[in-house]
Amino acid sequence: MQTVSRRIAAELAARIAAGEPPPGERIMSTRQIMAEYGVAMATATKVIAHLRDEGLVRARPGVGTVVSGNAPPPGTSPDRDLVVRTAITIADAEGLQGLSMRRLAGELSMPTMSVYRHVQDKEELVLLMMDKVMAANPPPPRLDPARDGWRACLEALARLQWSMYRRHTWLAQAVSFTRPLLAPHAMAHTEWAMRALEGHGLDPSTQFRAAVTIANYVRGTAVNLEDEAQAVQETGLTDEQWMQGQEQRFTDVLATGKLPLMARFVASEDPELTLDMLLEYGLQRLLDGLATQLA
């Protein structure tokens, strides 16, 4: 027996097959599905997920979920690089949870099992995706620790990594420092950070831990990016719009007088708080602490 979500997905798939809407055009949003079919948000979200799994739709940043239509012609045999690039495109739009071998095969117009001719499994696929992103973002080539100083070099590397996480919100979920994937271009970032600390009296273990601690701090802040992007996609509200909707609740909680310091912060001239601000504040405090160790 078909679930409600699969029944609705089948109906929308039939519409797509009939060219309504055509490739590249937006499909019904989750809220429109809720209104037309009288279902809950969770069911509407599953409908979109079913269509994605079949490769019928894809998320386009800044536009929404659109009908797929730019896959290679059937019968073509993409090489590994195209498979990895396509996987990155899917993950950029839908996160790692939206990336499956079946989903990838649908985007490439090839049988699912054919994907395994290019990658062993999803773990290897994610490794190749991560390494490709890192290869496109090598450590800052114009900075030299001997000329520019260790702090400027580590700041630049951290901000470079943050910009990568900003563009590829799935990347922070893929990176692990306890079970690291052996991606050569990712390891080059660590090597470069250790080189920035060379000649300051640190033993190799301390150099390595310092380099990884800074990278892990940036990654730890960045894990919030994918959740934020997913929340925007599901609710249709930006972070600013969501905060505006919560304004009365904040006012009511602070009016109790039980949180005087929080109330003082909210009433200050600069109560804004963003992930970029948190990243920069924490990065500077980390480097301040490292500076005392080097001194």
Q: Tens digits of per-residue pLDDT, 176-211?
A: 877 666 788 989 999 999 999 999 999 999 999 999
| More confident of the two residues 132 and 253 | 132
Q: Give the chain's domain count.
A: 2
Q: Looking at the structure, tell me whether residues 123 and 230 fall in a common domain.
A: no
281 and 201 share a domain? yes
Q: How far apart are CA 219 and CA 59, in angstroms?
A: 24
Q: Are residues 37 and 157 in the same domain?
A: no
115 and 142 co-located in one domain: no
Task: From 134, 154, 179, give the residue that closes a domain.
Answer: 134
**C-beta of residue 137 within 8 angstroms of C-beta of residue 218:** no
Note down the domain range covering 241.
138-294
DSSP SS3 for 64: strand
Q: Is 186 exposed, middle or buried (0-12, 13-18, 19+ CB in 10 A)?
A: buried
Average pLDDT score, the chain? 84
Checking 72-75 for CB contacts under 8 A at 24+ apart, the result is: 72/108, 72/109, 73/109, 74/109, 74/110
pLDDT of residue 218: 96
State whether 153 and 257 are in the same domain: yes
Q: How far is CA 33 from the centre of its chain?
A: 26
- Give the end-to-end CA distance of the chain in Å, rounded to a whole number: 70
Of 78, 106, 134, which residue constitutes the final position of a domain? 134
190 CB-near residues (< 8 Å, 6+ apart): 208, 211, 212, 215
pLDDT at position 1 is 47
Q: Which of 11-20, 67-76, 150-159, 256-265 has the highest mean pLDDT?
A: 150-159
For residue 156, pLDDT beyond 90: yes
- Residue 128 and residue 165 share a domain: no
**Pick from 8-17, 18-27, 241-250: least confident:** 241-250
Report how far residue 8's alpha carbon sits from residue 28's, in angstroms, rounded to the nearest whole number.
11
Do both 144 and 46 map to the same domain? no
Q: How far is CA 215 from CA 18, 119, 286, 290, in A?
A: 49, 28, 11, 14
Same-domain check for residues 166 and 110: no
pTM for the predicted model, two decimal places: 0.67
Which pLDDT value is given to residue 213?
95
CATH number for the domain that contains residue 186 = 1.10.357.10
- Cβ–Cβ < 8 Å for 224, 173: no
